[in-house]
Chain A
């Protein structure tokens, strides 16, 4: 392996844009994750009850109900018709993520994301091989299996093992042995499958992905003609299969990353030294100097 491929992804961006600009979205994302934890924790810690409950279901300022739509869907297929409060809460959540991108939940809210990001960071440093890489559609299959098990057993099946809600609930209400489960996810990502949990297995992410299929907020490779093939975006992207179509723009393909697998984490924007990527909306198909790209391809 050559020295350049071993080099830290984003090295060039840090040199050109400065460290802060090359970590802008990452920092914002970490702040968002901390914020979403803190709003739930200031209640039990300091008695400031802005938000009560957990990610599975919460009440904000005593009025706004929010419900995890997948948990509620499992409840429905298990044969329980929920009260209106929970249904309204799930509809609000679904409406928001349908606009900003379903998997924004994964990268900006989910408490397991820092765990698997940490595992990936260590995985990179230790130079492990990528390990078991099941197809990306695996998580959709698992989602189907989870719903089937819920229907057959008449319970909200995934909540028995779901590390997302178990970790979040653990932090807010008491961990018990939830650390062991979180540790297992970390190890799974570190030694069994690179980016395994969030990228291949988690049915929660798969479900949010489905919600965000037609989301408005998207990343666009608007400046793709400037791409110098450094591959840093591929190195940092947790769902790197979403990039090529938009970046390479073969046959005048849209510069928008339209795959619902994209988590809108914005890390590709950070690490690109020539600012290829930018956040935009799904109708914005503008491409800067696209004729140059055509020349390059020719």
Chain B
């Protein structure tokens, strides 16, 4: 800086003004852009990313929106989001299960086509894909839960008997039938959307949701006592004693009363 009182040279003054002006303009324009970018982050719940897609935040840093995955999808499942028409960030690939579900190709061509790794190339077994998780969202309208034998979601599931099973229970309404409840097992569900696509209702009772919406998460410090006990072969806490349940009658482990049952908790070395 020049000594006080000495005017700075016109060139220097011009340079400083120009730089300040440009920097200011860039802060304004950059903020506007950042706002738009932030706005583009929200992925609608019904828009599913292709198999192997990185978590959404990482995906938007990695996907260059070239559409090669779309081209190599043999079933026209994938499409690129069109500006102002589709919900996902403009130009990024997605599919809507109710319209065209993922057919779970064994060679996963979409992942092989991705040049950037936005679709993780370490996904080689399509059964490991987690595009979402199916959830039986409407238990009041599901035909199976009404006691009928629709079973379509179960039958079309590419991971049948693992991702969806039919769990039998007594049909209280009719009194002498069974309810075959479709139950999704998230550990095996790839989120392909076959079930949602095939649901016979006008609006699907089973839907594939993004994992963030479909699932809760257990706390890291939680332990399942019964598993720990089995693993250890002894009570987890030393010196525990089994006290008799006070209330006699059905629903208790009081075997002398009608309806009593064998207690689930059996402490080794303790005689009831």
> A276: CB under 8 A from chain B?
no
Interface 1/0 per residue, A137-172 and B, CB below 8 Å:
110011011101100111111111100011001101
B64 with A159: CB separation less than 8 A: yes
Name which of A59, A72, A149 has the most chain B CB atoms within 10 A of its CB. Answer: A149
> A176: CB under 8 A from chain B?
yes
A80 with B61: CB separation less than 8 A: yes
Cα distance A153–B84 in the bound complex, in angstroms: 21
Residues of A within 8 A of B80 (CB): 169, 173-174
Give the number of residues in B that approach A within 8 Å (Cβ atoms). 46
Closest 3 CB pairs of A and B: A176-B82, A57-B66, A177-B84
A82 with B85: CB separation less than 8 A: no
Cα distance A89–B64 in the bound complex, in angstroms: 12
A53 with B68: CB separation less than 8 A: yes
Please name the residue on chain A nearest to B70 by beta carbon: A173
A53 with B71: CB separation less than 8 A: yes
Name which of B65, B66, B121 has the most chain A CB atoms within 10 A of its CB. Answer: B66
* Stretch of B33-41, B168-176, B212-220 that contacts chain A: B33-41
Q: How far is the CB of B58 from chain A (nearest CB, A)?
A: 7
> A83: CB under 8 A from chain B?
yes
A149 with B90: CB separation less than 8 A: no
Cα distance A81–B118 in the bound complex, in angstroms: 10
Residues of A within 8 A of B64 (CB): 56-57, 67-68, 71-72, 75, 86, 156, 159
Residues of B within 8 A of A57 (CB): 64-66, 68, 115-116
**Which of B30, B61, B71 makes the CB contact (< 8 A) with A148?**
B30
> A52: CB under 8 A from chain B?
yes
Known: A43-B71, A65-B115. A156 touches B33 (CB 8 A): no
Please name the residue on chain B nearest to A159 by beta carbon: B65
B62 with A145: CB separation less than 8 A: no
Cα distance A165–B27 in the bound complex, in angstroms: 24
Residues of A within 8 A of B22 (CB): 135, 137-138, 141
Residues of A within 8 A of B61 (CB): 75, 78-80, 154-156
> A33: CB under 8 A from chain B?
no
> B89: CB under 8 A from chain A?
yes
Residues of B within 8 A of A170 (CB): 82-83
Residues of B within 8 A of A107 (CB): none
> B86: CB under 8 A from chain A?
yes
> A58: CB under 8 A from chain B?
yes
Instruction: Give 15 new A-B contacts, CB below 8 A, not counting A54-B66, A75-B61, A145-B29.
Output: A53-B67, A57-B65, A57-B66, A58-B68, A82-B116, A86-B117, A152-B34, A155-B41, A155-B89, A156-B64, A165-B65, A174-B82, A176-B86, A180-B83, A180-B84
Residues of B within 8 A of A159 (CB): 64-65, 90-91
B58 with A80: CB separation less than 8 A: yes
Give the number of residues in A that approach B within 8 Å (Cβ atoms). 57
> B25: CB under 8 A from chain A?
yes
Cα distance A49–B113 in the bound complex, in angstroms: 14
Interface 1/0 per residue, A86-130 and B, CB below 8 Å:
100100000000000000000000000000000000000000000
Residues of B within 8 A of A285 (CB): none
Residues of B within 8 A of A241 (CB): none
Q: How far is the CB of B96 from chain A (nearest CB, A)?
A: 15
Q: Which residues of B contact A (CB under 8 A)?
A: 18, 22-23, 25-27, 29-30, 33-34, 36-38, 40-41, 57-58, 60-68, 70-72, 79-80, 82-86, 89-91, 113-118, 121
> A181: CB under 8 A from chain B?
yes
Residues of A within 8 A of B68 (CB): 52-53, 57-59
> A240: CB under 8 A from chain B?
no
Q: How far is the CB of B141 from chain A (nearest CB, A)?
A: 34
> A20: CB under 8 A from chain B?
no
Residues of B within 8 A of A135 (CB): 18, 22
> A178: CB under 8 A from chain B?
yes
> A31: CB under 8 A from chain B?
no
Q: How far is the CB of B38 from chain A (nearest CB, A)?
A: 7
Cα distance A89–B66 in the bound complex, in angstroms: 12
> A292: CB under 8 A from chain B?
no
B60 with A155: CB separation less than 8 A: yes
Cα distance A154–B68 in the bound complex, in angstroms: 22
A80 with B34: CB separation less than 8 A: no
Cα distance A141–B80 in the bound complex, in angstroms: 30
B71 with A176: CB separation less than 8 A: no
Cα distance A219–B84 in the bound complex, in angstroms: 42
Q: How far is the CB of B72 from chain A (nearest CB, A)?
A: 8
Residues of A within 8 A of B41 (CB): 155
Name which of B57, B64, B86 has the most chain A CB atoms within 10 A of its CB. Answer: B64
Cα distance A154–B60 in the bound complex, in angstroms: 8
9 residue pairs of the A-B complex, CB under 8 angstroms, read: A43-B71, A67-B64, A79-B58, A83-B116, A138-B25, A144-B26, A169-B91, A172-B67, A173-B82
Q: How far is the CB of A42 from chain B (nearest CB, A)?
A: 13
B66 with A58: CB separation less than 8 A: yes
Residues of A within 8 A of B30 (CB): 145-146, 148-149
Cα distance A135–B34 in the bound complex, in angstroms: 23
Known: A52-B68, A169-B65. A160 touches B115 (CB 8 A): no
